[in-house]
Homo-oligomer: A and B are copies of this chain.
Amino acid sequence: MAHKLNQIFSALADPTRRDILIMLLEDDMAVTDIAEPFEMSLAAISKHLIVLSKAGLVLQERRGRVKWCKLDPEAMHAAFVWIQTFGQLDPINLDTFEEFLEKEKLLNNSESI
């Protein structure tokens, strides 16, 4: 796939992958631990991580038999810059995860109309 933005945005288009990214905000994690809260197979999560890794959103470093995954803010920043530049949007200021959830909830509600 040609353009890096294609990979970044399509990586972000999947809710499982967005959830993984949010998990990785807290700490670096091994593939198996990332997979734990999800209801799909480990192989599926492994694939999602490869997608995130190819998009540059996640770095994977193998130590022994464990592959540690960590956020790589670089690609996310590229998407951010694209959107911001596009609309000349002003960065907003949100502080907590609770506010973030609130936003998501509002978004979900408006969607179900």
Q: How far is the CA of A66 from the CA of B107 in the complex (A)?
A: 31
Report how many copies the assembly holds. 2
With both beta carbons as reference points, the residue of chain B lying nearest to A17 in the complex is identified as B9
Is A4 a contact of B108 with CB atoms below 8 Å? Answer: yes
Are A100 and B80 also in contact (CB < 8 A) when A25-B92, A111-B3 are? no
A54 vs chain B, min Cβ distance (A):
11
Within 8 A of B (CB), among A74-113: 76-92, 94-101, 103-105, 107-108, 110-112
Contact B88 A94 (CB under 8 A): yes
Q: Is A5 an interface residue (CB 8 A)?
A: yes
Report chain B residues within 8 Å CB of A6. Answer: 13-15
